[in-house]
Amino acid sequence: MVGIGTIINAISVLLGGGIGLLLGNRLPESIQKILTQAMGLSVLFISIAGAMSHMLVLTDKALLTKGGMLITISLALGAILGEWIDIERHIVLFGEKIKQKVGNTQDNLFVEGFVTASFTICIGAMAIVGSIQDGLLHDPTMLFTKSVLDGVILIVFASVYGIGAIFSIIPLVLWQGIITLCSSLVQQFLTPTMIDSISLVGSLLIFCVGANLFFNMKIKVANLLPSLIFAIILVHVIG
């Protein structure tokens, strides 16, 4: 069952995307390029802040870090499994099917906009933790905050990539809805350490999205998604 937080989040995506489409036709290419870079820079620093909030530990004597081993092993195993399954290719094919269904076969930016926007608003601490809170505590506050951020993000993405970015609402509703549902079903198995580990690895995946935008890199973020699963498993192995 989709929580109220995800419903509001979906509405914000539609509104932001609609505004972005209206602006897109009026923005010169140079403005669209700098907007993409600005959004990439913002995503980079948001992801760094998210990761550091879970890695830094302040003691009486020093500022320490934790989670280095968890990150390394989770990303390595996740990359191997994700590349073997080739999740990225399946997501791109899904975007192509949507593109054909809506009759935008000549839109060269449709799939790129769909994939980029989907990763940006679906992967990350706020999406994961917010959906868990909505499911366990019926507290959608974090998702309400995320809705505001996603609305702004979609204004930029839709203005640059076009209507494809708006269809990121589909994986958003599916992803956050599944997390909300599963969290209420397996709440006795979820621990704060598990949630922290998922959020930490999720922040690093968001960093990859920002790197793709700002540095024009081609990191296959989708193929790193299994890292989130390994992060949960490794909590029991290395703590």
Residue 57 parent element (H or E): strand 56-58
Look at residue 73 in the predicted model and tell me its pLDDT: 94
Round the average pLDDT of the chain to a whole number and report it. Answer: 87
Q: Which residues pair with 43 in a beta bridge?
A: none
Under 8 Å between Cβ of 155 and 136 = no
Look at residue 182 in the predicted model and tell me its pLDDT: 85
Look at residue 108 in the predicted model and tell me its pLDDT: 87
Name 16's Cβ contacts closer than 8 Å, sequence gap at least 6: 150, 151, 152, 153, 154, 155, 158
The list of the chain residues with pLDDT below 70 reads: 1, 187-188, 238-239
Look at residue 118 in the predicted model and tell me its pLDDT: 93
The DSSP 8-state label assigned to residue 106 in this structure reads T
Domain ranges of the chain: 4-238
Look at residue 126 in the predicted model and tell me its pLDDT: 81
Alpha-carbon distances of 127 from 58, 145, 152, 177, 180, rounded to whole Å = 26, 10, 16, 10, 10
Look at residue 56 in the predicted model and tell me its pLDDT: 82
Look at residue 1 in the predicted model and tell me its pLDDT: 62
pLDDT digits (tens, 9 = 90+) for 78-117: 999 999 999 999 999 999 999 999 887 788 889 999 999 9
